[in-house]
Amino acid sequence: MNGSSAPALALHDVTCTFASRDNRRDRYTAVRDTTLAIASGEFVSVVGPTGCGKSTLLNVSAGLLAPSSGTVSVFGEKLAGINKRAGYMFQADGLMA
Ligand SMILES: Nc1ncnc2c1ncn2[C@@H]1O[C@H](COP(=O)(O)OP(=O)(O)OP(=O)(O)O)[C@@H](O)[C@H]1O
Ligand SMILES: [Mg+2]
């Protein structure tokens, strides 16, 4: 799929692992095998307990974090780098005074 019929955002089998904060030699899987598609104009909320991976999914969708495996597509195009079709308000403020 591509062009206007493609989802605005599609995650396919996205997995994100990090170096564990407890032991840097261990890997921690924050998000595993996540697949979703969001149409243009669709309003979606991601709900879950703290630490379940919501911000990780948003970071992947914005192109700020490359998934360890899986793919991200934006209007049918594989995302490589920043998602220029996305606006993103961060969870924590990051202004430098
Ligand atoms: N860069 C990182 N290095 C190591 N662990 C990380 C990193 N980023 C996120 N994590 C871990 O991945 C898990 C998911 O984090 P994430 O920030 O996506 O959760 P969240 O659902 O947004 O939580 P909250 O509701 O508190 O905002 C957490 O256990 C977090 O500690
Ligand atoms: Mg968060």
Q: Do residues 29 and 15 lie in contact, with contact meaning Cβ atoms separated by under 8 Å?
A: yes
Question: 50 phi and psi, to 5 degrees?
Answer: -55, 135
Cβ(90) – ligand 1 distance below 6 Å: no
Q: Which residue has the higher pLDDT, 26 or 96?
A: 26
Tell me, what's the pLDDT at 4? 62
Q: Which two three-digit tokens encode residue 22?
A: 């407890």
What's 40's domain CATH number? 3.40.50.300
Rounded CA-CA distance 4/27 in Å is: 38
pTM of the complete model: 0.92
Say how many domains are in the chain: 1
Is residue 86, in this structure, part of any structural domain at all?
Answer: no
Q: Which two three-digit tokens encode residue 23?
A: 């032991």
Is residue 92, in this structure, part of any structural domain at all?
Answer: no
Report which protein residue has its CA nearest ligand 1's atom 17.
Answer: 55
**Average pLDDT value for residue range 51-64:** 97
Say what the alpha-carbon torsion angle 2, 64, 60, 42 is, to the nearest 10 degrees: -60
Is residue 93, in this structure, part of any structural domain at all?
Answer: no
**Average pLDDT value for residue range 12-28:** 92
Residue 23 confidence class, pLDDT cut points 50, 70, 90: confident
Residues 6+ apart with CB under 8 A from 72: 9, 10, 11, 12, 14, 60, 61, 63, 78, 79, 83
Residue 50 confidence class, pLDDT cut points 50, 70, 90: very high
Tell me, what's the pLDDT at 27? 92
> Which ligand has the shortest distance to the CA of 17?
1
Is residue 63, in this structure, part of any structural domain at all?
Answer: yes
Is residue 11, in this structure, part of any structural domain at all?
Answer: yes
**Domain around 23:** 3-78
